[in-house]
Amino acid sequence: MPPDEQEGRYSNHFKVGFNSFEFILDFGQAYEGVSVELHHTRLITTPAYTKALAQLLRDSVAAYEQSYGSIPDIAARDSSDA
């Protein structure tokens, strides 16, 4: 797909599920004061590709921090707060 036809979506909420055959990665948006997360994208992939994605993310975060400094940790949103 040409870059000008690709859609970008902001995400600050993530869920991961898996079974013996696949990983399910859900992306969405969560807002303080709103009890329901808005899910907009689901990726389903094999364990091997999930592991490759995890490594790519680790490498990219390390490169980012090398260039721009440490990324602060954020507290995970507790679903009981919703």
**pTM for the model:** 0.78
| Residue pointed to by tokens 């898996």 | 18
CA gap 4, 53 in Å, rounded: 24
pLDDT of 1 reads: 77
CA gap 27, 24 in Å, rounded: 10
The region that residue 69 occupies, defined by phi over 0 for left and psi between -120 and 50 for alpha, beta otherwise, is left
> Quick one: pLDDT band at residue 76, thresholds 50, 70, 90?
low
CB atoms within 10 A of CB 50: 18
**Could you report the per-residue pLDDT of 26-68, keeping only the tens digit for each?**
999 999 888 889 999 999 999 999 999 999 999 999 999 999 9
CA gap 74, 72 in Å, rounded: 6
